[in-house]
Amino acid sequence: MRVSTRVEYGLLALADIALYSENGASVSAPEISQREGISKKYLEQILPLLRQAGLIRAQKGLRGGYSLTRSADTMKMSEVLNALDNTILEEMDHPDGNGALGLRGAVDECFWGKLNNVLTGFAEGSSFSDFVKDCRDRMAKGWDMYVI
């Protein structure tokens, strides 16, 4: 499955904010850009989407940056995906109007429709905090290597 870079980078930026603002600090766009390898210019197009969705807040000033608006426990992955691209979890439209005519309608309903239902169920049943915890655990495993 392929998702847009907006969704990929938006999810990465939100996870970065969650991980690096845990002590109440704000995370700046240049910090996110540098850590995650995202163009600052592109990131500045993505962060407003997360802010408009009420997932992050922006703080101006010397120690300004971004932080979560609420606990990651109360955020669902479906909220995050919809903030970045509201077509990912959208019901499929059938070009013929009723969705039952022809092979295209059957394929759309029998495969793509079912796949969309699974993805929607997963996103609605997954909390953002579980995602962040899984990311943190995965990153910690990378430190098991011994380097001389």
pLDDT over 70 (residue 113): yes
Q: Report residue 140's pLDDT band, with 50, 70 and 90 as the boundaries.
A: confident
Phi then psi for 12, rounded to 5 degrees? Answer: -65, -45
Residue 80's contacts (CB-CB under 8 Å, 6 or more residues apart) are 10, 11, 14, 50, 53, 55, 128
Which sign does the torsion angle of CA 140, 84, 39, 4 carry?
positive
pLDDT at 3: 79
pLDDT at 84: 95
Q: Report residue 65's pLDDT band, with 50, 70 and 90 as the boundaries.
A: very high
pLDDT over 70 (residue 68): yes
Average pLDDT over residues 65-78: 94
Domain coordinates of the chain in residue numbers? Answer: 5-144
CATH number for the region 5-144 comes to 1.10.10.10
pLDDT at 35: 95
Average pLDDT over residues 110-129: 91
Q: Which two tokens stand for residue 33?
A: 């850009």
pLDDT at 86: 85
Between 96 and 27, whose confidence is greater?
27
Q: Does residue 66 sit in helix, strand or coil?
A: strand
The end-to-end CA distance of the chain, in Å, is 39
Residue 18's contacts (CB-CB under 8 Å, 6 or more residues apart) are 68, 72, 128, 132
Averaged pLDDT score across all residues of the chain: 87
